[in-house]
Amino acid sequence: MFEFTTTRHNLLVDPALHLWGWQVAVYLFLGGLVAGLMIISGVRLVVMRPKERHSLVCCTIGPLIGLVLLSLGMFALFLDLEDKPHVWRLYLTFQITSPMSWGSWILLLVYPALLANALAHLPEAIPALSRRFPVLVTWSDFILARTRLVLAIGFTNLVVGVGLGIYTGILLGTLGARPLWSSSLLGPLFLFSGLSTAAALLHGILVLTLPDEERPEFADFLLSTVARWSQSRPLDPRVVPTLARADNSFLTIELTLLGLFLIGLLTSTEAHQHAARLLLGGPYAATFWVFVVGLGITIPLLLQLLELRHTIRHSLVPAVLVLGGGLALRFVLVFAGQASHWVVALR
Amino acid sequence: MPDLSRRRFLKITASALAAAGVAGKLGGAVVDRVEKVARSGIRKIPTLCDLCFWKCGAIAYVRDGQLWKIEGNPADPLSRGRLCPRGTGGVGAHYDPDRLRAPLIRVSQRGEEKWQEVTWDEALDYIAQRMQRIKAEHGPESMALFAHGIGGNFFRHTFKAYGSPNIAAPSFAQCRGPRDVGFNLTFGDEVGSPERTDIANADCLVLIGTHLGENMHNTQVQEFATAVGRGASIIVVDPRFSVAASKAKYYLPIKPGTDLALLLAWMHVIVKEGLYDRDYVAKYGFGFEQFAAALETATPEWAFPETGIDPETIRATAREMARYRPATLVHPGRHVNWYGNDAQRSRAVALLNALLGSWGRRGGMYVPVGFDVPGYPHPPYPKPGRGPVDNPGKKYPFASEALTTGIRDATLTGQPYPIKGWFVYATNLLNSLPDQAATIRALQQLDLVVVVDVIPSEIAGWADVVLPESVYLERYDDLSTNLFREPFLGLRQPVVESPQDQKPNWWIARRLAGKLGLEAFFPWKDIEEYLEYRLKAAGHSLAEIKREGIIPGAPKPIYFEDGAPAEFGTPSGKIEFYSTQLQKAGFDPVPRYTPPEAGPPGAFRLLFGRAPVHSFSRTQTNPILADLMSENAVWVNAVAARRLGLKSGDYVRLRHQDGVISNRVRVKATERIRPDCVYMVHGFGHTSRGLRRAYLKGASDAQMMSRYRTDPLMGGTGMNVNFVTLESEA
Amino acid sequence: MARYVMVIDTRRCVGCQDCVAACKTENGVPESYTRDWITETVDGEFPAPRLEIRSERCNHCENPPCVSCCPTGASHVHDRGGVVLVDRAKCIGCKACLAACPYDARFIHPDGYADKCTFCIHRVERGLDPACVSVCPTHCMHFGDRDDPFSEVSRLLASRPHHTLLPEAGTGPCIAYLT
């Protein structure tokens, strides 16, 4: 029989590593989501080069929600720090070997990029606000009048969004001490998960604003509240199927990457195989299979397919499932990752 | 590398200034400021550790007025500059938040742990009054003292002055007594403490139950590591695969209680095959032929079914021992109160050593030497009206020290005369004596129970008066004179002040003596005067030993071949292979084996031992040591555990065959123990609520020791005779 | 160039935790935290199991992942001896280094920064051994410069079989266990 005892009992480390909790999982989810919103809006801006104001959800609500969600995410991250008053020390240096250092600087760039993006279409997003502050209309006009500026904003959002979406996966990937994370596919996986959650979110928002006959009941309740506040026009519903299709592409790629990620682990060393089995059949299997793969990817994929074939009406359900699945994916990876270990005895 | 200590440098500077004639106020002011500067920075003060009874020389570091750390004193022959983990964690004794702070008098029933804080005079008056009443109504003999260690010296002095002959320590009847009696019967001398074992030079070391490395007597472990490093052949006999077993060439997983069979079989092989030291036996031995005849039937084939050790292994290990003689040491052990036949078993160990010629030889057991220091003169002690009460009619004819359990018996029965008061110093009797229920019944018979301790131990919980002692870092003690490889003197001196109202043992004993009208027995005004007198009489000074911590004596020969005296204090003046003393007293003149009693089916024999980070039950609230080990575990054989549905980390309770149930304790399912026994480290499962850090952590083996077998030769209490089952907590 | 290493003889080690106690008092390690620890590994079956006892701590790796992942540069390699240290004035407690260490050698100090064994660099630079090495009663621990071919550690590494922990993790640990 193999027996292993240690006298060490350090907080957060023993008996199993548990130093990152919901704060980090929530940040990863929100960071990915915001990255997706940035990329989608960035692509939109680059491709469509809007000169006039459109009710493009991705270009109006998208960046605004992005700003809010990112702040929430960074707050969660801040909560995780053990020496909170000194968080500014991150910005006294740039450590090229540390993805966390890249990330802290990327996050600094995200704000101006998102802000500029949001300003471009703020009057469409919140007409009430722009009536109160006409300067917002001036700025929006200023931006939209300059194609090069629009392109620049679009590219910046696209590039910084990709950086934001991918760096957290790379960060985990550099922590070779946790076999579950040592895969170069984590970066792309997080990126596409971020994209799928962003597309799902936008899709869901649009569903909420569909014309009456096509809207689910509770959306009326939500919408009337929102409408009263913003006195906005309904957003362009033609975009709904586009987003559903986009979301399906992202979900398919995400599922593929997830599969490749697991195959990579299963064909690697014993430590990596054991790590993969934590998800496939071990303590995290229920969450993984039900919430990440089943409800988080497969079911919404099918539902959206049916929606696109007009078999069923567009509803909020796929959006909620995808968002839940994205969050579950982060939780599973953060927690299971800390449970995976090189040391035989701790497995 | 010792650099000039800051204090010394500043002192030199200060005195140089004074000498340069910068006298008067200016010089005084400079010296004052210099002294103040010296109080900051680092001071190193030598003293003696007190975490166990080894008394290693230590150096305490005080940094900016705060106790910082403790290291070994390189001048100390016991520690050689390195302390064990308990000594290293000694600062925790000073900082322990669960320490006793002030004298306490109980305000309710004994055992309820409800106290009122009082002044020293109130407490000592209370005690003196009742001691005088006992003296008047029953005689001073009815007051008993239980004291352990050199801190008890002054209490022993006060008690002898008071007139009581009933002074005992658990170290005899509960610990090493049988060993010293067994060796005395054979060699005419005791093994002693520190044991006279020349482990460092042994080429073959035999450990029977002795778990060096977990049992952390510093010098022994250091020498054990030296022997391991030298490639010595190590033979371990233990039902548990101890740390020592993991370094052994031969590991014998003996059935508990059958060690004597193995010893006899070994001796049989060595005698039969002529492997013993003929010259040594011829020169120093007595009764060898009768001894050899008595071993006829003790063949390895006979021992096999008894011990579970196959005959080939018995022969191989016997031959291995003989191969390296006389540098073969069969370790005498220390705590040997196991099965009730312990004095005879220890005698067998002594005989085996005698066969191998290791007694008095290099690599075996050397002749220890010591430092003579005259005492402080005092009036002669009064002769007690009656003899000691612990061994009436010399029921245990070979007991050479007082029997703690004998005093308890007298307390319970009132025979041969009643004991009406217990004064307990530095021993947690509820954990050291077997049968806790009997101890509690005895306590309830008493008119006076006084406990002097540093922490609120279980025995303190039953006292009428609790007196808080300063820990060793805060006090002087009597001089430490050991018998060891070389003579030396050690001093325990204060390093820091007691944080609250704790007092040293000498102060308490002296003050109590004053209250009892026995001032004449303490003619010195303070401990420094006492120590200075004794040191001067030995040709040294207090200043010298305060500075160095250790005063070495001139080395003397410790092996027979170097001229150490080969004297044996036995009736024949020789090593008694056959003991006529024993025969005349009606005991086996050569040890004879009887099998141990079996326990109830399905139950495990409960064995206990030590952990290197704790001492008995007195360190579990030390913040540093508790951090290293906060609870014990019950070791269960892996297969047995699986059958019970248990795995490591599960919690169980032990149920004793007589019904006592322990506190919950963690299971350690392991291949390192036989299936028929379980093992725990002693000292946990505290029930005293004042021991907040240790309260109900782990389980108490002492609680499970409700049965014991008394050694007929000397009254020792064999405790490995208790059986338990495990009940899951799930 | 000096390269400090520790060489520990598992045959002599009895797992007494003296090294843990000495580190605690020397370095003021807070209660319930520990910079070094004892592990026991048992293999085989009764009555002949095998037991290895090790005193473990940060391995001051040659390729330390805890240094490369640090976003503020708090975790760094000392300019002498290859000792890995944490500058508490730069640490923000992000815990990336705890996640990066395959030996789980680090912990977060109650004051909010990452902490671990420092090879007692404050003693080494005064010509002393680390506290754990100085206290060990079995003399099983050795500390020195591997780049000095005449040092005791070099001699031991050359003459006795030894192993490091998790060499497959690729971190280049600098504590060797003699078997």
Residues B667-700 pLDDT 10s: 999 999 999 999 999 999 999 999 999 999 999 9
Q: What is the DSSP letter of B490?
A: E
Half-sphere exposure of A230 (CA within 13 A, CB side): 18
Average pLDDT, rounded, for chain A: 87
Strand partners, B146: B168, B424
Distances (CA, A) of B588 to B188, B260, B592, B593: 17, 13, 7, 10
Report the alpha-carbon distance of residue B174 to residue B698 in Å, rounded.
22
Annotate C1-39 with b (16+ C-beta within 10 A) or e (fewer).
eebbbbbbbbbbbbbbbbbbbbbbbbbebeeebbbbbbb
CB contact under 8 A, B69 and C25: yes
pLDDT tens string B250-259:
999 999 999 9
Beta strands in chain A (DSSP E): 3-6
Interface of C with B (CB under 8 A): 9, 11-12, 14-18, 20-22, 24-26, 31-32, 34, 42, 44-51, 53, 127, 134-140
CB contact under 8 A, B648 and A1: no
Amino acid letter for position A234: P
Domain total for chain C?
A: 1
Q: Within 10 A of B676 (CB to CB), how many other CB atoms are there?
A: 17
pLDDT at B16 over 80: no
Report the alpha-carbon distance of residue C56 to residue B593 in Å, rounded.
46
Task: Provide, rounded to the nearest whole percent, the portion of chain B with pLDDT above 70.
Answer: 94
Report the alpha-carbon distance of residue A257 to residue A262 in Å, rounded.
9
Full pLDDT tens readout for chain C, 179 residues: 899 999 999 999 999 999 999 999 999 999 999 999 999 999 999 999 999 999 999 999 999 999 999 999 999 999 999 999 999 999 999 999 999 999 999 999 999 999 999 999 999 999 999 999 999 999 999 999 999 999 999 999 999 999 999 998 899 999 999 99
Closest among B480, B217, B530, B219 to B371, alpha carbons compared: B480
pLDDT tens string B409-425:
999 999 999 999 999 99
The domain B604-728 is placed in CATH, from the list 2.40.40.20, 3.40.50.10320, 2.40.30.40, 3.30.750.80, at 2.40.40.20
Closest among A5, A160, A206 to B671, alpha carbons compared: A5
Please check whether residue A7 touches B, CB under 8 A.
Answer: yes
What string of H, E and C letters represents the secondary structure of C159-178? Answer: HCCEECCCHHHCCCCCEEEE
Predicted pLDDT of residue A62: 85
Query: pTM to 2 decimals?
Result: 0.92
Strand order from edge to edge, sheet including B115-117? B115-117, B104-106, B465-468, B448-453, B421-425, B143-147, B167-168
Reported CATH class of domain B104-161+372-476+499-539: alpha beta
Please check whether residue B367 touches A, CB under 8 A.
Answer: no
pLDDT at A58 over 70: no
Predicted pLDDT of residue C59: 98
Q: Which residues of A touch C43 (CB under 8 A)?
A: 2-3
Residue B261 C-alpha, separation from nearest chain C C-alpha, in angstroms: 20
pLDDT at B147 over 60: yes
User: Which chains does chain C touch, 3 or more C-beta pairs < 8 A?
Assistant: A, B
Predicted pLDDT of residue A55: 57
- The mean-pLDDT minimum among B29-33, B177-181, B500-504 falls in B29-33
Residue B413 phi/psi, 5° resolution? -100, -20
Predicted pLDDT of residue B709: 97
Distances (CA, A) of B401 to A153, B335, B336: 95, 16, 16
pLDDT tens string A212-255:
666 555 555 555 555 554 444 455 666 777 778 888 889 999 99
Task: Provide, rounded to the nearest whole percent, the portion of chain B with pLDDT above 90.
Answer: 93
Chain C segment 120-139 residues within 8 A of A by beta carbon are: none
Domain of C160: which CATH number?
Answer: 3.30.70.20
* DSSP H/E element including C144: strand C141-145
Residue C48: closest CA among chain A residues belongs to which residue?
A1
Residue A1 C-alpha, separation from nearest chain C C-alpha, in angstroms: 6
Kindly tell me the burial class for residue B508, based on how many C-beta atoms sit within 10 Å of its own C-beta (0-12, 13-18, 19 or more). buried
User: Does CATH place domain B6-95 in 3.90.226.10?
Assistant: no
Quick one: pLDDT band at residue B1, thresholds 50, 70, 90?
very low
Predicted pLDDT of residue B10: 46
Residues of chain B with CATH 2.40.40.20: 604-728
pLDDT tens string C62-86:
999 999 999 999 999 999 999 999 9
Strand partners, B237: B208, B252
Closest among B347, B355, B318, B326 to B202, alpha carbons compared: B326
**Contact (Cβ atoms closer than 8 angstroms) between residue B108 and residue B114:** yes
Residue B612: closest CA among chain C residues belongs to which residue?
C16
- Mean pLDDT for B326-330 is 97
Residue B707 C-alpha, separation from nearest chain A C-alpha, in angstroms: 33
pLDDT at A132 over 90: no
pLDDT tens string A150-184:
899 999 999 999 999 999 999 999 999 999 999 99
Q: Of C9, C14, C19, which to mutate for an interface test with B (greatest number of B Cβ within 10 Å)?
A: C14
pLDDT at B17 over 50: no
Amino acid letter for position C141: M
Domains of chain A from N-terminus onward:
22-346 (1.20.1630.10)
Q: Which residues of A touch B642 (CB under 8 A)?
A: none
Chain A segment 129-188 residues within 8 A of B by beta carbon are: none
Report the alpha-carbon distance of residue B139 to residue C51 in Å, rounded.
58
Dihedral sign for Cα atoms in the order A332, A338, A340, A346: negative
- Mean pLDDT for B603-615 is 97
Predicted pLDDT of residue A146: 86
Q: Which residues of A touch B629 (CB under 8 A)?
A: 7
Fold of B174-368+564-569: Dimethylsulfoxide Reductase; domain 2 (3.40.228)
Predicted pLDDT of residue A234: 53
Please check whether residue A93 touches B, CB under 8 A.
Answer: no
Q: Which residues of C touch B669 (CB under 8 A)?
A: none
What's CA A251's distance to the chain center, in Å?
Answer: 13
Distances (CA, A) of B589 to A170, B514, B719: 80, 50, 24
Residue C25: closest CA among chain B residues belongs to which residue?
B69
